[in-house]
Amino acid sequence: MPPRTTPTPIIPEPPTGAGETIPYLIKPGAFSFDDGLTHQNATLTFLVEDVTGAGPRVLMEALRAPQIPRKGDLFEGSATLIATNVHVTNIEDCTTKWEVTVTYGWPQVGGGPFDNPPTDQRNTTLELDSTVVMKRTNIDFNGDPIRIEGYHASVYDEDTGEPIGSQAKAEPIQGGMVDVPVVLTVLRFMRREFPVDSHQRTVAYKSKLFTGKTNSVDIDGSGVNTWLCTRLGGKSDDGGLTYNMTYEFAFDPALWRATAVYIDPKTGQPGDNLSIDDIHTMSGNGVKTFQIVGAADFHLLDLYL
């Protein structure tokens, strides 16, 4: 069942007959509306007169006046602002005149970082995580290919079978693939947004444009191609009026690249004279590094990057 819409306040005509009373005279008092970027809040004040009753009942009678908005009612002309608070106070210690103030705002839907008015202008909650993950590589800490050479085979006594020493073998140099621990740092931004941002981009469009891309512009001195957008998306708890968006970026000082090493087709092993001539591009004799993902300007997302 959709929320009620707050009716336009009506100021009844003054009574014309002697002794005639108006049980609930409702009129607009102080009225304000913050239209800002997102039409975030509104306040209406009503005057309720000739309320009868005693104790707490008189408060309830004032709240039940025919045109007093109820908590959860929509603000007229808005599809999203709802009455979040209704407050009653008496006027000049009079028990028959009451002022009812109704405050409208964005409903809180998810708790935590998403209980804020929707915006795409940097109003985000930021999380930072660093964890250790395992990565398979054929490059050592210094950027050199992992190679095995200088193999010595054991020599055994022909009669007893006991080992009596070792002998160098002229085997080709072999490469190796090893699992190493690396630090993975993840930046996570969360905020509530409209389904179409101020640049007229939908949530789906932004997801396709930035997810799986690295930063084409330097971020905080880390250099380009160091941050990979691993997640961009969100869910709606209000029927598509707003989305609880999450943006995640993972950091890799190796620039999210893949390094290939030349394999000798005769031996099936890396060549014996591999070398890296440029540590920045990770390239050299028999070694080449490739950029495997595209790039995008993450500053266009209006985060804290």
Domain ranges in the chain? 28-105, 114-146+177-301
Rounded CA separation 260/267 (Å): 17
Rounded CA separation 118/124 (Å): 10
What is the pLDDT at residue 4?
A: 53
> Residue 300 has which token pair?
């266009």
Using CA atoms in the order 282, 284, 285, 287, what is the torsion angle rounded to 10 degrees? 20
Q: Are 134 and 117 in contact (CB under 8 A)?
A: no
Q: Are 148 and 173 in contact (CB under 8 A)?
A: yes
Q: Are 146 and 178 in contact (CB under 8 A)?
A: yes
> Residue 64 has which token pair?
């039940």
Phi, psi angle pair for 84, to nearest 5°: -100, -15
> Residue 302 has which token pair?
């209006």
Buried b (16+ CB within 10 A) or exposed e, 21-31: eeebbbeeeee
> In 3-state terms, what secondary structure has residue 63?
helix
Low-confidence stretches of the chain (pLDDT < 70) are 1-40, 53-55, 79-80, 92-95, 107-113, 115, 122, 143, 149-153, 166-175, 270-283
Rounded CA separation 7/220 (Å): 51
DSSP percent split of the chain into helix, strand, coil, nearest 5? 10, 45, 50
What is the pLDDT at residue 13?
A: 41
Rounded CA separation 288/21 (Å): 91
To which residue do tokens 């300007």 refer? 297
Q: Are 21 and 14 in contact (CB under 8 A)?
A: no
pTM above 0.85, yes or no: no
